[in-house]
Amino acid sequence: METTLRGVGVSHGVAIGEVRHMGTAVLEPPAKQIPAEEAEREQGRARQAVEAVAADLIARGNLAGGEAQHVLEAQAMMAQDPELIADVERRIAVGSTAERGVYDAFAAYRALLANAGEYLAGRVADLDDVRNRIVARLLGVPMPGVPDSDEPYVLIARDLAPADTALLDPALVLGFVTEEGGPTSHSAILARALGVPAVVALPGAGEITEGTVVAVDGSTGEIFVEPSPEKRAEMEGASAARKAALSAVTGPGATSDGHKVPLLANVGGPGDVPAALEAGAEGVGLFRTEFLFLDDSKQAPSEEKQIAAYRAVLEAFPEGRVVVRVLDAGADKPLDFLTPGDEPNPALGVRGLRSLLDHPDVLRTQLTALSRAAEGLPVYLEVMAPMVADRADAKAFADACREAGLRAKFGAMVEIPSAALRARSILQEVEFLSLGTNDLAQYTFAADRQVGAVSRLQDPWQPALLDLVALSADAARAEGKSCGVCGEAASDPLLACVLTGLGVTSLSMGAASIPYVRATLAKHTLAQCERAASAARAADSADEARLAAQAVLSGE
């Protein structure tokens, strides 16, 4: 009998197939004591397992490339954390086996993360995955992972570790459903990069019996268990119509009456460029530069290394627009040479621009590298700072850009509510704004982007978040400057129309979402988008806002 469940749709498309569950294993080793003379050997085993797991994560990242590579490299750094390894060795020295020492040391670190504020608590799933991989290697048992199947299937898991998500084969994994996670979790971001339909934050998903046929709608978040033939035909027809509509619309982003809305790509490095070009991106709206700095947490990359990476992206978009975000370190992206290690709540501490202003040499080197990378190229380079709180922050960044001789537009990201509320003041110092809706939602609602239990507050349709977007866009319009969106909100085609109606001047997203947004914008006039935006802001909840906008755009 057909039943309907609803989670949070995070990656467009429809998947229909039999359920396969992520493999599980008991990975808690027995607590037994070893003789003192075996401690050195056990410590060696632990170090070898850590290095092997770190190498495997890096290798998986190299295979996957793009966003996945950066996530997996960060996990490898987590595995090799010197303090964590030292704790493992201390536990072994007083009698633990290698596997038990690893298990207990990670458990202690896990408790620290879980109590360090919601932002860092979101890293617990990544830490658990690293621990499981090290312990499994020491125990000589298979890692829990993606099931082995010759036939395509829909994957269901409590959550998906980045190492598993990164190497999913879209030819076999039709789509996936997780019990935890949120719209901006690593699983969601990687699913969009892969182009795999996905639904997260669905409580009870693990109770769906292996082999049951389900239909997954990654746009609406609906899961139909044992769908009827009519429902399957309806969803397959809608999917085919959607694909036809995507292929029929090409060229620059615009509404049906010709209002231009440049569609840009979010990239993490040169590896993401081919997909962006294939999707017809008009440039880059968010170039995350962290990937260069995560290679070595002890020191910043050289100016020459930065120049080579930046130029590879800039050359791919001749006469296009490339917006670079300078290093956003801190919180879940700590760097030993840059960020404090003893902050009680790093997400609310020295993060982003604050870290760079405390280390002006790091900022100066990056800005100089960007300037040199753009020399001789016709590209329109724009550089923006993360975590700008007020006009003083914006001025400090603009001054640093000028001192470095950077010939580019300087901008500020709007991720803190104060920046939206005082956007016009900030625009006295910079030339554009870019809304990072993921963090803006997180700080507006005190709701961590990785915690499934608060995912409703991370929904970019929340009217309060739309109000902050409107404030920023209005300020930019009043100053004759631009205001784009580079957060995950831009990847929702319906919401893209609402953002356009709010006055946003460009949209940047994962490459896989660009065709969907282009096709949807092309069906509606600017006036319709403005009416949809007004209807959404008049609502009292995210669900009501979504339905109100949908009603306007569908002509109901």
Rg (C-alpha) for the chain, rounded Å, is: 24
Q: How far apart are CA 78 and CA 76, in angstroms?
A: 5
Nearest residue to 184 (alpha-carbon basis) of 464, 509, 516, 514 = 509
The set of residues, in sequence order, having a beta carbon less than 8 Å from that of 159 and lying 6+ positions away, is 125, 178, 179, 180, 181, 185, 187
The set of residues, in sequence order, having a beta carbon less than 8 Å from that of 304 and lying 6+ positions away, is none
Pairing status of strand 222-225 against strand 3-6? antiparallel
Query: Which residue out of 186, 483, 497, 524 is catalytically annotated?
Result: 186
Token readout for 164 is: 């598993």
The set of residues, in sequence order, having a beta carbon less than 8 Å from that of 212 and lying 6+ positions away, is 18, 19, 225, 226
Nearest residue to 514 (alpha-carbon basis) of 344, 272, 208, 176 = 272
Query: Which residue out of 12, 70, 401, 486 is catalytically annotated?
Result: 486
The set of residues, in sequence order, having a beta carbon less than 8 Å from that of 312 and lying 6+ positions away, is 270, 273
| CB-CB neighbours of 82 under 10 Å | 10
- Cross-strand partners of 385: 412
186 is catalytic: yes
Region of 93 on the Ramachandran plot (φ > 0 left; ψ -120 to 50 alpha; else beta): alpha
Residues catalogued as catalytic? 186, 486
